[in-house]
Chains A and B, each alone.
Chain A
Amino acid sequence: QVQVIESGGRVVQPGGSLSLSCATSGFTFSDYNMHWVRQAPGKGLEWLAFISYDGINTYYRDSVKGRFTISRDDSKSTLFLQMNSLRFEDTAVYYCAKDHERYWYYFDSWGQGTLVTVSS
């Protein structure tokens, strides 16, 4: 079955950097678009970033554009999120999510999330 496992979350100081990983299995990773979604403590879901199945197209929400970079390694079925210039408001659980079908941008598989805490 599909498995999605995020890692890399930790406490980081404002202005710092962090790299998150999302290891997947149970599906052909290179066939699917992937996303990062986050959830601040006690808050709702917020979409962050998209990468197309072929890695050619990436999109970001404005608040992370220029600070976060999504990438993928199809040989390892792994998705990444490089986060720079972190702010207090980036504190959240970060989820990796898989598109249900190409060209339909909703998520049928999610990881358990990894917690990023930005604190001095």
Chain B
Amino acid sequence: EIVMTQSPATLSVSPGERATLSCRASQNVRSNLAWYQQKPGQAPRLLIYGASTRATGVPARFSGSGSGTDFSLTISSLQSEDFAVYYCQQYYNWPPLTFGGGTNVEIK
């Protein structure tokens, strides 16, 4: 099973600042990596797939990068609606499909 590790667990950021979230895979997953945003009481929302392709309707301030085992999600200028938990997921080698433990982006 591929283990996905996200860091940090919590990221405190002021509105308008840049946030960078990390995701590391225990094995090479090539570019088969997705990112999701989840707000309290809501279902996850797909943000990024293929490590760097924004899903439909996702603002350009969200960008993904990386390949192999190291990935990052950057939010260039945090808006109030961006404070949420973010998960990465690998879909290269499965079952099982695996998620990281999440990064909680909170208001500083």
Interface residues of A (CB under 8 A from B): 35, 44-47, 50, 59-62, 95, 100, 104-108, 110-113
| Interface residues contributed by chain B, number (CB under 8 Å) | 24
Q: Of A61, A62, A110, which contacts B44 at CB under 8 A? A: A110
> Which residue, of B42, B43, B46, has the highest number of chain A Cβ atoms within 10 A?
B43
Are B87 and A45 interface neighbours, CB within 8 A?
A: yes
Q: Does any Cβ of A come within 8 Å of B101's Cβ?
A: yes
Are A108 and B97 interface neighbours, CB within 8 A?
A: no
Inter-chain contacts of B42 with A (CB < 8 A): 112
Residue of A nearest to B95 (CB): A59
Q: Of B46, B94, B100, B101, which contacts A105 at CB under 8 A? A: B94
- Residues 20 to 79 of chain B near chain A (Cβ within 8 Å): 32, 34, 36, 38, 42-46, 49, 55-56
Inter-chain contacts of B56 with A (CB < 8 A): 108
Q: Of A59, A100, A112, which contacts B43 at CB under 8 A? A: A112
Inter-chain contacts of B44 with A (CB < 8 A): 45, 95, 107, 110
Are A110 and B91 interface neighbours, CB within 8 A?
A: no
Interface residues of B (CB under 8 A from A): 32, 34, 36, 38, 42-46, 49, 55-56, 87, 89, 91, 94-102
**A34 shortest CB reach to chain B, Å:** 13
**A119 shortest CB reach to chain B, Å:** 21
**B95 shortest CB reach to chain A, Å:** 4
Are A47 and B96 interface neighbours, CB within 8 A?
A: yes
- Please name 13 further chain A to chain B contacts, defined as beta carbons within 8 Å, in addition to the given A44-B100, A108-B55, sorted by A numbering: A44-B101, A47-B94, A47-B96, A47-B97, A50-B95, A59-B94, A59-B95, A106-B91, A107-B44, A110-B43, A110-B45, A111-B43, A112-B43
Residue of A nearest to B6 (CB): A44
A104-B94 contact, Cβ under 8 Å, with A45-B87, A47-B99, A110-B43: no
**B11 shortest CB reach to chain A, Å:** 16
Q: Of B32, B49, B94, B102, which contacts A44 at CB under 8 A? A: B102
**A111 shortest CB reach to chain B, Å:** 6
